[in-house]
Amino acid sequence: MKTIVICSGGLDSVSLAHMVAQEQQLTRLVSFDYGQRHRKELDYAALCAQRLDVPHDIIDLRGIGAALTGSALTDDIDVPDGHYAEESMRITVVPNRNAIMLAVAFGVAAANDDQAVATAVHGGDHFIYPDCRPAFTKAFETMQKAALDGYADVSLYTPFVDRTKADIVIAGARHNTPFAETWSCYKGGETHCGRCGTCVERREAFHLANIADPTTYADPDFWVAAIAKKDRG
C-alpha cells in the first residue's frame, strides 16, 4: 500500500516510518513547522527521509500555529517537568493540532495517488491529547472518506493507537530504527533534558521494553522519581 508517514522526527514517528518502509510502500514523509519551540525534531525527520530515500515535505503552518495560543509548545510558557499523565502536562496541548495536520496530509496523499496516511499516535497520548484517541482517529477517517468521496480513497493507518510507547520501542528495534537519531524533548536543548513529559515517557519506554536507551539526558535519573510520583497519585 502506497503510504505517506507524518513524521515529527520523534521516536514514535521515525519508528513508524521504518516499519512502513519495510512492510508497505513508503512514498514520502510529511512534517509540519507550526512555530513549535524548536526545529531540532524537523532536522531528525529530514535525516529519516534521507536514510529511507524518500521525499520529505516540510509544510509551513506557522501562521496557524501563531493563532493556537496558550500552549507551552508554541508560546513563551515553561514546559513542565514530570510524567505525561500529570495534569500539568495539559499546558502542552496545541488545540486541534493533529486534526489540522492530518487534514493536510490527506490532501497531500490524495494529490499524489497515495492510499494511506500513517501517524504514530499511541496509547500513552490518550491522557491529555484528545486528537490521539481511537474515537478521534476513527471519526477522522470517516470524515475524510466523505471529504474525498469520488476523488481519492485514502485510509488512516494508526498501528500504535492502542499500544504503549514500550511497544513502539520494541517495534522500532525490530525494524532497525536508529533511536539515537530521533528527538523527543520538548525543550530543545543541547541534549534531551530528561525531565519533560516526553523525556520521562521515552526513558520509561526503553526500560519497560528492556532495550538499551542510547539517548543522552541532561538529567538521566529524574524519570524514576517522576514515575513514582505518578504511581502515588
Triad 38, 49, 106: Cα angle to 5°: 85
Distance CA 97, CA 216 (A): 28
What is the rounded end-to-end Cα distance, in angstroms, of the chain? 44
Q: With beta carbons less than 8 A apart as the criterion, state whether 165 and 182 touch.
A: no
pLDDT at residue 71, as a whole number: 59
pLDDT at residue 231, as a whole number: 67
Instruction: State the average pLDDT over residues 2-21.
Output: 98
Distance CA 192, CA 206 (A): 15
Helix-, strand-, coil-residue percentages of the chain, each rounded to 5 = 45, 10, 40
14 SS3 class: helix
Among the ranges given (96-100, 163-167, 208-212, 216-220), the one the predictor scored with the smallest mean pLDDT: 96-100
Q: With beta carbons less than 8 A apart as the criterion, state whether 11 and 213 touch.
A: no
* pLDDT surpasses 80 at 152: yes
Q: With beta carbons less than 8 A apart as the criterion, state whether 7 and 23 touch.
A: no
18-69 pLDDT, tens digit per residue, is 999 999 999 999 999 987 767 899 999 999 999 999 999 999 998 887 787 6
- Cell reading at 206: 526503553
* pLDDT surpasses 60 at 233: no
Q: What sign has the CA pseudo-torsion 128, 130, 133, 135? A: positive
105-141 pLDDT, tens digit per residue, is 999 999 999 999 999 999 876 567 788 899 999 999 9
154-197 pLDDT, tens digit per residue, is 999 999 999 999 999 999 999 999 999 999 998 888 999 999 88
Question: Given the C-alpha cell 521515552, which residue does it identify?
Answer: 202
- Cell reading at 48: 529519516
Among the ranges given (7-11, 21-25, 192-196, 226-230), the one the predictor scored with the smallest mean pLDDT: 226-230
pLDDT at residue 75, as a whole number: 47
pLDDT at residue 79, as a whole number: 58
Domains annotated for the chain, with CATH where assigned, are 2-232 (3.40.50.620)
pLDDT at residue 92, as a whole number: 54
C-alpha separations of 38 from 33, 34, 135, 198, 228 in Å = 9, 10, 30, 15, 29
59-104 pLDDT, tens digit per residue, is 999 888 778 765 545 545 555 666 655 555 655 566 788 899 999 9
99 SS3 class: helix
Which amino acid, residue 99? A
pLDDT at residue 63, as a whole number: 86
